[in-house]
């Protein structure tokens, strides 16, 4: 077989292995794990700002009966009961939220959903 064909086949096999392996690894790691977790107690979210990718989820942990969670963008119905809420963000953008009791000027937070960036890989043979 010609050396250039062998190099080309090896490069294709390497690309195939790299792209399939990383997706499989992510799927096997924790398919339902949130991209970020925000906890809250009196008067603050921790962290108050998270950055995730489209398709990832954010989990809020705290007592919603004392700190009802409100989406400033109307993405979800205000959470007033329970201690855990998960929302999956499907599009890029900035999404603010706040506590209904402390208002949008006191206990506030933000989710930033970045665009996925794909960089082309260049191979020389």
Residue 69's Cα: distance from chain center in Å?
A: 18
Percent of the chain with pLDDT over 70: 66
Q: Which domain holds residue 21?
A: 1-31
Which residues 6+ apart lie within 8 Å of 4 measured at CB? 125
Kindly report which listed range (40-49, 87-96, 109-118) carries the lowest average pLDDT score: 109-118
Write the pLDDT tens digit of every residue in 9-44.
555 654 444 444 433 333 333 446 788 999 998 889
- 118 found inside a domain: no
**Same domain flag for 45 and 63:** yes
Give how many domains the chain has, as a whole number.
Answer: 2
**Same domain flag for 100 and 44:** yes
Q: What is the pLDDT of residue 30?
A: 44
pTM of the model: 0.67
**Same domain flag for 99 and 65:** yes
Q: Please check whether residue 86 is in contact with residue 59, taking contact to mean a CB–CB distance below 8 angstroms.
A: yes
**Same domain flag for 43 and 22:** no
């Amino acid at each position: 077989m010609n050396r250039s064909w062998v190099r080309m086949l090896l490069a294709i096999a390497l690309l195939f292995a790299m792209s399939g392996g990383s997706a499989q690894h992510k799927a096997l790691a924790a398919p339902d794990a949130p991209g970020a977790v925000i906890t809250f107690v009196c008067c603050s979210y921790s962290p108050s700002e998270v950055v995730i990718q489209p398709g990832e989820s954010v989990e809020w942990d705290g007592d919603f009966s004392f700190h009802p969670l409100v989406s400033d963008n109307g993405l979800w119905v205000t959470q007033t009961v329970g201690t855990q809420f998960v929302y999956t963000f499907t599009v890029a953008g900035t999404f603010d939220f706040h506590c209904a009791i402390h208002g949008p000027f006191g206990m506030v937070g933000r989710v930033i959903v970045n665009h996925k960036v794909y960089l082309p890989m260049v191979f020389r043979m």
